[in-house]
Each structure stands twice: as C-alpha cells, then as structure tokens.
Structure 1
C-alpha cells in the first residue's frame, strides 16, 4: 500500500517542475526585449544632460551620436565570434553585461572624446545584444510555428518609453546621469540574469560567417534594403520631428517632444497586435500597406494647419512603420544567424546615414521639405516591400 501511494508523488514532481520551467521560458524573451528597450531609452532620455555635462556643441553632439551608429555597423565581427563560439543564449548574457557597463561609462565620461568612445562601445554592445536576442526569437518562432516577433518588439518599445520617462524623472530631480545609471545597472543586471536563466538552451554555437563585415546577398538584398530605409525613416522622425514642430509651428518646449511620443506610442500599440494581423494578412501585405499609411501620415503632418494636427500625422506614421522591423528581422532570422546579422548591419547603416541626410535637406530646403522627404522614403519602402519574396 505504501508503494502504491508514493508512486504518483515521485512521478508528478518532475512533471510539475517541467511545467514551471516551460512556463518560465515563455517569459524569457519578453523580459529581455523589454530590458533592452529600457537600457536604450534610459540612454536616450539623458542625452541633453550628458551633452551639457561635457559642454558639447550641437555639431559635436551630432558626431557623438554618429559614433553610436558607427559602432553598430562595425559590430559584426564581435557578434559573429560570440554567436559562433557560444550561441545566442550566452551571447545575450555577455553582451548584455557589457552593455550595462558601457551605460555607466557613458554617464561618467569627463569630456567629449571619452563620451564619443563610450557611445561607440554602446553601438557595438547594443547591436550584438540585439542580433543575439532576435536570433533567439526567430529560433523560437521556427520551433513553435507561431509569430511573436511583433509583440516582442512592442515590449522593447514599452521598455524604451519607461526608460525615457525614468530619465526625465531623474533629470527633473537634478540626479546626474552617472548616479542615475549606477542606480539602474544593479536591478537591470538581476533582470538580465533572470532572463538568461529562463531562456531555453540552444545547444552551443551558431554557424556564422567569420568576416569583418557582411552585406545581404541574393533575395536577402531586398530585406536589407527595407531595413536600411526603415531605419532611415525611424531615425529621422526620432531626431527631427520635435524640431519640425518647434521651427515650423512655433511649438513650445513642452509640446515639441510629443511628436516622438505620439509616434512611439502608436508604434507600440500596433506591434502588440501585429502577430495576429500577420497570421491573417501576411507580413508582405502589412509592411507594404503600412508604409503607404506612414507616407500619408507624414504628408498630413507637413500640410497640417497647426502643431496639434501634426501630432496626429506622426501618430499615423507610427502605426504605418511599426511592423517593418519585426517582420524584416523575423524573415531574415528564418534564413539563419548570418542572414540576420547581414540584414541588421545594413539596417544600422541606415540609422547612421538617415538623420544627417535629413539634416542636409532641412538646411538647404527647410524642415517642411525634410519631413516630406521622409514621407517619400516611406513610399519607396512600400515599393520594395511588395517585391520582397522572403517577406512572408
């Protein structure tokens, strides 16, 4: 009788532990994507304070920000080495810890040259973390047969908004960036470790081409071009939308930042439902139609009679561009880690070139024409998306 009673206990415990483990794994990637967004949002939210701390001019600040894009572009040798040697899971941990350390070094930079070096390292570590994280997400999509990349990128948006809001709170309470980042990295390191331990094992290294730099080839070229154009458009809106409201409509310092906020919030909301829409309509149709919607929204902002109507235009643009990156990265990751890294490298080069190009247009033609130019980029995105066979 004792044996028959104890037998179910010895069987049910492992099953219970296994169920808990599987449930924990479902939360690992959402936690990591939100963590990444919070780190980058925290950095972005303290850029004005960092610039004031080293007494940097507007032209020098543009060079500092350029270092971040340059670091992302040249990060491929590091990400390929880590991915091939350790796999996506351990690469997430290593690059995530390095990213947190770089965040602290940015806050403690005593001069412009040190800040430029720290931001260069930010681009390298953030890009490596991003590639590894998206590689793990595409592997899970393959295993489960379900689309979840849009939701994960939406959680990264949410983390970014939280990080930026926290940065604003710290700034309003006169807390220096160095102190802010030191207070932040401890809890974020714990969250990173929790996400790492919950993430399912990936069996070691990935097959990644060991090259100094790699560009997409064959059918991947159009995916890379979509990433390049989408990064140009998003980066330009992030950097110039508030200035457009201020210069063209005379918006106040409190109203002008709402252009980026409206864009980001609507992008977040769209990404949270993007996976269900993908199952019904397909990625190619959604990216193509979304780019057309974004073009209409930006043109609406350009032709608006006042700043409040223009906010609606930027919100529409956020809806239209929201699904481009999740679906492009998902399609590239389905072709393997090398394809994902190649498309990511081309996309990051777009973030490097976009804002300066828009700045040149604004300088020679005006801010209204510069935002209209971003609307033109959205039309090109729609044209490329409808011809991209891998965007399924």
Structure 2
C-alpha cells in the first residue's frame, strides 16, 4: 500500500498547488496592479509552461525515472509558489507562472507514469482514484486559500506556507514513489514513435475534449449562473464546488466502474452523461437545473482524462513490463493545448452569443469523447492484430 498512498499524495500535492495560487488570483491581480486583460495574458504563462514541459516530459521520465522527476518538479513548484506570492509586477508574475506551469507539466507526466506502474503491480484499474487525489487536493488548496484571505494573509505569506507544507509532505512520501531508477533500454524502446500511432492520437482527442469541457466548467460555471440564471456570486460559486465534489467522488468509484464495464464503456457513458448535463445547463433557464447539470458533468467527465492516460500507458507497455512514458507525455501534451485554446474560443462565443451558447459548444465537445473512445478501441485492436501477424 505504500506506493499507492505515496502516488495518491503526490496527485493531491499537485492539486493543492493549483488550488492555492488559482484561488488567490483576485489578490494577485490587485498586488501587481494589473487590469483584467493584462492579468489574463500573465495567466497564459502557466499554460505555456505546462505545454512546453509536457512535450518533453516523457523522454525525461524515461531516462531519469518517475521518482526523481516527481521530487524535482514538486520542489520546483513549491519554489514557484513563493515567487508568485512575492512577484511585485506583471512581468515577474508571468515569469513565475511560466515556471510553475513547467513544473506542473513535468509533474503531471511523472505522477501518471508512477500511477501506471502501481496499476501494473497491483493489476487493478485505479488510475481514477489517483486523479481523485488531485481533485481533493485542489479543493483543500481552495479552502485553505479562502481561510488565508479571510484572515487577511497576503499571497506571499499564504503561498510560502503552502510551499513549505508541500515540501514536507513530499519528503515524507517520495521514497515510496515507483520509478527509483531509469527504466529506459534503447533496444526495448517502442518501434513506432507516438506521433505515428493513430490510437494515441485518438486517446489524445479524448483527453483534449475532457480538458476543454472540464476547464470550461471550472472557469465559466459561476459566470453562467450569475449572468444568465440570476444568482449571486456566493451561490454561483456552489456550481463549481458541486462540479468538483461530484467529480472527486465519482473518481473514487472509478475502479469499480472500470472493472465492471471496462474503460471504453466508462468513457462512452461518461461522455453522454457530461454532454447531457452541460446541454441541460445551457438551455434550461432555471438555476436549480444548472446546479444539477454541472453535477452531472462532473460525474461524466470524472474518468475521461485518467482513463485516456491509463490507456496510453498501456499502449506503450513493453515486454518487460516497463514503458509508456513517451505515450503518456504525448497524450498529455496534446491535451494541454485545450488549456491554451479553450478559454479564448469559449470566451469569444460567450461574447457574441452569451454563456448559454458557449456551454452548448462545450456540450458538443464533451460528446466528441464518445466516438473518439470507440475509434481508439478499434485502432488498438488493429494494432494488436497486426502485431500477432508480425510474429
């Protein structure tokens, strides 16, 4: 159980870092005297750093081992939290966000590789449970940020404390994280690069659609509820909280669901449920229905991203039981483009046609997970059949 607890804790630390700084954006923008537009450009630094790091993280993990990358990237993320808190102006804040984005990009791939290693050791499909750790960590970080703001803690003080806690927790669990030595063997490397495998492009499409739909629900749910459903800011925040809570608890049930129905059926059912929930939220002008719709979306999207990464790791498995680092890195890098492209597209639709139509678009994106998952299963079967013929 030590490696399972350690990997779950690392996922929670990643969520804690995000919840800590993202929840203090109002105070951070005030501290650096940034207008909304300028502050939005600064926030792009995190997405750019994440995407750039994820594109090379697979190779780094393959050579250095998941444990070393988890330790280094988590430490770098903790340092970045301090830099964010103390940044005196917009350029330095953007630079600090770029660094934390890069560290999180490395950490995301490394912790998912470690999670796949635990799945292989136990023979249990527990990837969604690890991602539940991220959700609970993000919630804990948000709650702690709220308490810090309520007690008039500056971002510098709050994020420094959060960084110290993260490093102490990391020291307590890092030795139990799988991947203590490099597992890369040149002659055992996959014959085909990830970019040349259709199954990985399809799994990347699943992860990309999930990232766009999840990001939209997190970033725009409160705005929809206040602008078009007539609720106050406090009540509107409950839509985001409900989405995150339902997603977290649904991920805890992911192992049972995957064992009972299989990963593809879970992806198909989740896609349909998320699309229905988002479509109802977008089209029915009743606040209560909006809350229910976002809860359904949280349940439906809960397994999409973790299952896409788990299946990518399985697609890269070598005969000696190792492998999958490059495949997970490739799928993650494609998915992270959703964090760059999603907000401007959704914001543009909302500007022209309103938040309701924007969420109709998000519902369509969530629905695309269904055909991508089915196509990925067919593509993997064709690969397996071709490999058998080749033998």
Q: Does 1:110 align with 2:82?
A: no
Would the alpha carbon gap of residues 338 and 269 (structure 1) be closer, same or farther in structure 2, given more than 3 Å must change? Answer: same
Partner of 1:34: 12
**TM-score, structure 1 as length reference:** 0.89
Partner of 1:19: none
Q: What is the rounded CA distance, in whole Å, between the counterparts of 1:391 and 1:331 in structure 2?
A: 10
Q: Does 1:287 align with 2:270?
A: no
Q: More deviation in 159-168 or 64-73?
A: 64-73
Q: What is the rounded CA distance, in whole Å, between the counterparts of 2:46 and 2:122 in structure 1?
A: 35
Q: Does 1:388 align with 2:376?
A: yes
Partner of 2:173: 195
Q: Does 1:67 align with 2:58?
A: no
Would the alpha carbon gap of residues 214 and 178 (structure 1) be closer, same or farther in structure 2, given more than 3 Å must change? Answer: farther
Q: What is the rounded CA distance, in whole Å, between the counterparts of 1:306 and 1:228 in structure 2?
A: 30
After superposition, residues 1-392 of structure 1 pair within 5 angstroms as 23-76=1-54, 79-80=57-58, 82-206=60-184, 215=195, 217-334=197-314, 335=316, 336-389=324-377
Q: More deviation in 182-191 or 313-322?
A: 182-191
Q: What is the rounded CA distance, in whole Å, between the counterparts of 1:377 and 1:105 in structure 2?
A: 36
Q: What is the rounded CA distance, in whole Å, between the counterparts of 1:267 and 1:149 in structure 2?
A: 14
Would the alpha carbon gap of residues 216 and 363 (structure 1) be closer, same or farther in structure 2, given more than 3 Å must change? Answer: farther
**TM-score, structure 2 as length reference:** 0.89
Could you tell me which runs of 5 or more consecutive residues in structure 2 were left unpaired when the two chains were aligned: 317-323, 382-391
Q: More deviation in 339-348 or 200-209?
A: 200-209
Would the alpha carbon gap of residues 220 and 378 (structure 1) be closer, same or farther in structure 2, given more than 3 Å must change? Answer: same
Q: Which runs of 4+ in 1 moved over 4 A?
A: 213-216
Deviation at 1:241, TM superposition (A): 1.0
Q: What is the rounded CA distance, in whole Å, between the counterparts of 2:169 and 2:127 in structure 1?
A: 20
Q: What is the rounded CA distance, in whole Å, between the counterparts of 1:102 and 1:230 in structure 2?
A: 27
CA deviations 1:292-332 (Å, max 9, x no partner) are 11111111112333222211110111011110011011111
Q: Give the aligned CA root-mean-square deviation in angstroms.
A: 2.0
Deviation at 1:80, TM superposition (A): 4.3
Q: What is the rounded CA distance, in whole Å, between the counterparts of 1:248 and 1:260 in structure 2?
A: 16
Partner of 1:18: none
Could you tell me which runs of 5 or more consecutive residues in structure 1 were left unpaired when the two chains were aligned: 1-22
CA deviations 1:197-227 (Å, max 9, x no partner) are 2224543254699xxx985732111001111
Deviation at 1:106, TM superposition (A): 0.7
Would the alpha carbon gap of residues 371 and 279 (structure 1) be closer, same or farther in structure 2, given more than 3 Å must change? Answer: same
